[in-house]
């Protein structure tokens, strides 16, 4: 192979040996491949290092990660939690990023959230698709436990908790967390409760009724205001949370009975009034009227739902009026319903219906 080199003064012809040239090209290609291999290997190592660093970012105390302490806290009997609570308090505000990640977990993101945690037991919970969907609330409730331990030391998380409160899937657990971090957190819920256009006030009603850190009178006052809520389910829940508590609620509860075709409103009011016993006797006549209107319906299931609920309330409030209701049922012809033990149990143990839970009373 001949290559020509030229200059202004001369032209020089040189003969090149092709073998050393080919060898040089081969060495160049091998070098480049080796460089690529090393680059890919380094990338893999860096990726593994990032994963390990992400898990290591979970705060720990005494050689145990936050998520492990939260599990220990959940398992411990109520009188034996001091050690676990102290460990979480020692972690302090360093726990907030992890707690917020856990609280914000959804059915779509829960696996990704759990993978960041060091607790092997916790990661094992979410190995199956069913667990991913069914146990996501368990993870969020563990985070609520953490916020309860930190209390007002977690006040700085209130803006993020408020965002989670205003997200449909995380609203209830975020509302619970807001009650744990002091008055500033609780005010987020009371503001929601007092805004008739707030779509998340149902969660606020539920959490305030269940576990508000206020004296009973203050809670009752908040709930009485929601007996006139535009949403049927919110009125029902507010009423049942008021059952047998502040007598000041009785006139408004009786007013709810005017909506005599609305099962949610009437059943909530009847349940609440029944807990006042004879103190709610002014409701007896109205309850009897609603009873006689509904137990003669052609729909047996509807008659049973209304009949059992109202009869139980009447028996708790005024036996004389309850006797009139029973006499009416007998004289109206063939019984439209037969109160089964299950129906009676449901009437006696009427529960609040969590918005979005899919639970609805039979009509």
Q: Among residues 185, 136, 194, which one has the least CA distance to residue 157?
A: 185
Coil/strand/helix, residue 301: helix
Question: Residue 147: its pLDDT value, please?
Answer: 98
Question: Residue 223: its pLDDT value, please?
Answer: 92
Percentage above 90 pLDDT, the chain? 55
Question: Residue 210: its pLDDT value, please?
Answer: 87
Residues 264-301 pLDDT 10s: 889 999 999 999 999 999 999 999 999 998 887 767 78
Q: Which residues contact 143 (CB under 8 A, 6 or more apart)?
A: 70, 99, 100, 102, 103, 173, 177
Residues 39-52 pLDDT 10s: 434 444 333 433 34
Sign of the four-CA dihedral 89, 91, 93, 99: negative
Q: Among residues 91, 93, 97, 100, which one has the least CA distance to residue 68?
A: 91
Cα–Cα distance between 253 and 258 in angstroms, integer?
10
Decide if 326 is inside a domain: yes
Percentage above 70 pLDDT, the chain? 75
Residues 148-169 pLDDT 10s: 999 999 999 999 999 999 999 9
Decide if 304 is inside a domain: yes
Decide if 179 is inside a domain: no
Coil/strand/helix, residue 64: strand
What stretches of the chain show up as alpha helix (H) in DSSP? 18-56, 66-75, 82-91, 96-103, 110-115, 120-124, 129-134, 136-150, 158-165, 171-180, 183-193, 201-211, 216-225, 232-241, 250-256, 263-274, 284-294, 300-317, 319-331, 341-348
Residues 79-138 pLDDT 10s: 789 999 999 999 999 999 999 999 999 988 998 999 999 999 888 888 777 777 778 999
Question: Residue 191: its pLDDT value, please?
Answer: 94
Coil/strand/helix, residue 218: helix
Decide if 350 is inside a domain: yes
Decide if 208 is inside a domain: no
Inform me whether the pLDDT recorded for 72 exceeds 80. yes
C-beta separation of 305 from 363 below 8 A = yes
Sign of the four-CA dihedral 95, 101, 107, 110: negative
Host domain of residue 298? 248-354+359-363
Decide if 243 is inside a domain: no
Question: Residue 333: its pLDDT value, please?
Answer: 55
Q: Which two tokens stand for residue 88?
A: 């979480």
CA angle, corner 293, sides to 288 and 294, nearest 5? 100
Question: Residue 20: its pLDDT value, please?
Answer: 52
Coil/strand/helix, residue 61: strand
pLDDT confidence band for 360 (50 / 70 / 90): very low
Q: Which residues contact 53 (CB under 8 A, 6 or more apart)?
A: none
The total of structural domains in the chain comes to 1
pLDDT confidence band for 179 (50 / 70 / 90): very high
Decide if 241 is inside a domain: no
For the segment 70-82, the average pLDDT, to the nearest whole number, is 90
Question: Residue 77: its pLDDT value, please?
Answer: 87
Residues 214-253 pLDDT 10s: 677 888 989 999 999 999 999 999 999 999 999 999 999 9
Residues 17-41 pLDDT 10s: 445 544 554 455 545 545 544 443 4
Sign of the four-CA dihedral 118, 97, 181, 198: negative
For the segment 70-76, the average pLDDT, to the nearest whole number, is 93
Sign of the four-CA dihedral 204, 206, 209, 213: negative
Cα–Cα distance between 199 and 214 in angstroms, integer?
23
Inform me whether the pLDDT recorded for 196 exceeds 50. yes
The terminus-to-terminus CA distance of the chain in angstroms comes to: 98
CA separation, residue 340 to residues 304, 305, 326, 336, 337 (Å)? 9, 11, 16, 13, 9
pTM above 0.85, yes or no: no
C-beta separation of 308 from 347 below 8 A = yes
Decide if 265 is inside a domain: yes
Cα–Cα distance between 340 and 346 in angstroms, integer?
10
């Amino acid at each position: 192979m001949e290559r020509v080199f030229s200059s202004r003064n001369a032209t020089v012809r040189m003969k090149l040996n092709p073998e050393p040239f080919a060898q040089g090209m081969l060495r160049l290609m091998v070098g480049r491949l080796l460089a690529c291999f090393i680059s890919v290997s380094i990338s893999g190592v860096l990726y593994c290092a990032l994963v390990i660093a992400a898990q290591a970012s979970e705060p720990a105390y005494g050689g145990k990660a936050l998520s492990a302490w939260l599990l220990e806290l959940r398992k411990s009997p109520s009188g034996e939690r001091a050690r676990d609570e102290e460990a979480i308090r020692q972690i302090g505000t360093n726990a907030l990023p992890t707690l917020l990640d856990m609280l914000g977990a959804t059915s779509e993101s829960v696996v990704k959230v759990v993978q960041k945690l060091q607790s092997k037991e916790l990661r094992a919970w979410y190995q199956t698709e069913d667990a991913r969907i069914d146990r996501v609330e368990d993870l969020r409730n563990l985070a609520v436990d953490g916020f309860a331990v930190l209390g007002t030391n977690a006040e700085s998380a209130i803006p993020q908790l408020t965002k989670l409160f205003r997200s449909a899937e995380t609203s209830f657990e975020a509302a619970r967390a807001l009650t744990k971090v002091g008055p500033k957190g609780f005010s987020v819920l009371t503001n929601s409760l007092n805004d008739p256009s707030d779509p998340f006030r149902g969660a606020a009603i539920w959490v305030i009724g269940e576990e508000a850190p206020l004296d009973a009178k203050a809670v009752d006052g908040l709930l009485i205001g929601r007996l006139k809520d535009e949403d049927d389910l919110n009125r029902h829940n507010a009423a049942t949370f008021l059952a047998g508590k502040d007598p000041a609620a009785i006139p408004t509860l009786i007013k709810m009975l005017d909506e005599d075709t609305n099962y949610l409103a009437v059943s909530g009011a009847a349940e609440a009034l029944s807990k006042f016993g004879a103190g709610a006797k002014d409701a007896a006549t109205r309850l009897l009227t609603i009873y006689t209107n509904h137990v003669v319906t052609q729909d047996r299931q509807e008659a049973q739902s209304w009949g059992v609920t109202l009869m139980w309330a009447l028996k708790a409030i005024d036996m004389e009026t309850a006797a009139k209701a029973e006499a009416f049922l007998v004289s109206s012809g063939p019984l439209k319903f037969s109160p089964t033990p299950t129906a009676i149990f449901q009437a006696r143990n009427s529960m609040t219906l969590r918005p979005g839970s899919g639970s609805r009373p039979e009509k």
